[in-house]
Structures are given as C-alpha cells and as structure tokens.
Amino acid sequence: MGNKGSKGTVLITGATGDIGRAIATRFAGGGWNIICHYFSSKERAVALKSIIEKYKVNCALFRANLLSERQLSVFISRLKKINIDSLINNAGTCVGHKHFDRLTVRDITSTFMVNTFAPTLLAAAVFKRMKARRFGRVVNISSIAAKYGSSSHSIHYGTSKLALEGLTKTLAREGAKHNVLVNTIRPGVINTKFHKKFPKDMKKRVKLIPLRKIGTPADIADMAYCLGSEKNNFITNEIITISGGE
C-alpha cells in the first residue's frame, strides 16, 4: 500500500455492503489507501476497487468468510505484515432470522462470529502496530438494536452488537495512552440491502423514528470518517447513535 502522499491505510470489513462501500469511498475521497474486505460479493468488490482508484489512492481486496475460523486466521496473519492506521469493523449479519424459541447454538455462534469475535480478533491484530506507531483509529459499527434490544426474531443479533460495544470500551481505555482512539457508531434504520435479507414492515418501522425517515449509507460514512480518520483528535470511547432521533 505504498502511496507516499496518502494519509494512511484504512481496513474496512464488509466493504461490499452498502454502508461499507460508502465508508470506503468516503475515505478514498479523503486521500486514504483502502483495504476492502469482502466475502461473497466478488463483483461488487472489483467494481468498488475501480471506483476507489479513481481517487488516486491504492486499493487492495482481501477475501475472507468471517464465519470460518481458518479463513479469519489467514486474514489476520496477512494483516500483521501491514501498517493499518484505521480499522472499521463494519461487516455484520444475522444468521438464523427466526423467533428466539427456535434459535440453535449454531445460529447464535455464527452471528457472534461475524459481529463480535472477528472484530475482536481483527482489532487485537492491528492494535499492536497502532500503539507502536502512536496513531490508530478503530470504529465499530454496532446497531440501534444494542440500545433498545432487538425484535424477538433477532435477539442474538442485538446481543452480539452489545458485546461489540463492550470491546470498544476496553480498547478505548487501553488505546488512550498511545493515541489509539476507539469509538462505536450505532446506526438506526439505514437504506441498504440488509433489509432485503431480513424483511420487515418498513412503513410501520418508519413511524417509530422521530424524523419519520430512514437514513442513508452516507450518513454513517460521514461519521465513520470523522471518527476513524486524522480528523479525529479528541473523541474516544463514545457511542454515536445515528438514527433520526430514536
């Protein structure tokens, strides 16, 4: 990733998702080199790389299924050789969208694997070099579900995000003395394909939002850039909710 004019290198997990893509292009626009992690959406990853390169920054694509312990550990060993200045733990899913009385151990552990365990291990992997270089930014993408609890069909999703917020607190405390700033963003309802995978009655849902509208990926990307780039100098251990007032 040797682009001398760049502001640093950011790793964005789930960069092929709608929010991940918006975050990646936001950082590229700010002059950062980008490592885009993806899993199944190879075409979207390749298309994103060519968009990012138009900003005259470097872009690398790393593929890993975060459900697979083996793939996660290969991914981490590749990262250990790179100076990552900013990590955006954005990949997320809900495995087994069903009433909690039908959930299996596998549904719960799989959801935690992507939403909590992988971010924890990825943060640990990049933290050491961040501390040594006295600069690091980590942003964990949680969910409004961590604030209010999820629906009865996604309790493991909300719980996994709440656990991710716990990671933020410990890392922020640990990072503070080394200029490694760690924060959480809690998106409310954002217009992405996530909701096509886990459909709900959107009209009813929007009525619960004080601003009476859903957010855009750019709403999250702007905050991720603010917290996860050189722009952030004094904010750490915060949870920023972006949810139209919910």
Residues at the interface with ligand NAP (CB under 6 A)? 14, 16-20, 38-41, 65-67, 90-93, 114, 141, 143-144, 187, 189-190, 192-194
Phi and psi, residue 75, nearest 5°: -55, -50
Least distance (Å) between residue 243 CB and ligand NAP: 9
Least distance (Å) between residue 133 CB and ligand NAP: 27
Torsion, Cα 85 125 176 93, to 10 degrees, reads 90
Least distance (Å) between residue 233 CB and ligand NAP: 25
Strand 136-141 to strand 86-89: parallel, antiparallel, or no bridges (unpaired)? parallel
Q: Using an 8 Å Cβ cutoff, are 237 and 135 in contact?
A: no
Least distance (Å) between residue 206 CB and ligand NAP: 12
Q: Using an 8 Å Cβ cutoff, are 155 and 102 in contact?
A: no
Q: Which amino acid is at 176?
A: A
Is residue 157 among the annotated active site residues? yes
Pick the closer one to ligand NAP by CB: 84 or 190.
190
Give me the catalytic one of 38, 148, 157, 225.
Answer: 157
Pick the closer one to ligand NAP by CB: 135 or 194.
194
Pick the closer one to ligand NAP by CB: 67 or 235.
67
User: How far apart are alpha carbons 48 and 41 in whole angstroms?
Assistant: 11
Least distance (Å) between residue 137 CB and ligand NAP: 18
Q: Which amino acid is at 192?
A: T
Q: Where are the alpha helices (DSSP H) in the chain?
A: 18-29, 42-53, 69-79, 105-112, 118-133, 145-148, 155-176, 194-197, 202-206, 217-228
Pick the closer one to ligand NAP by CB: 171 or 189.
189
Pick the closer one to ligand NAP by CB: 44 or 131.
44
Q: Using an 8 Å Cβ cutoff, are 117 and 78 in contact?
A: no
User: How far apart are alpha carbons 222 and 80 in whole angstroms?
Assistant: 28
Q: Give the catalytic positions in this structure.
A: 157
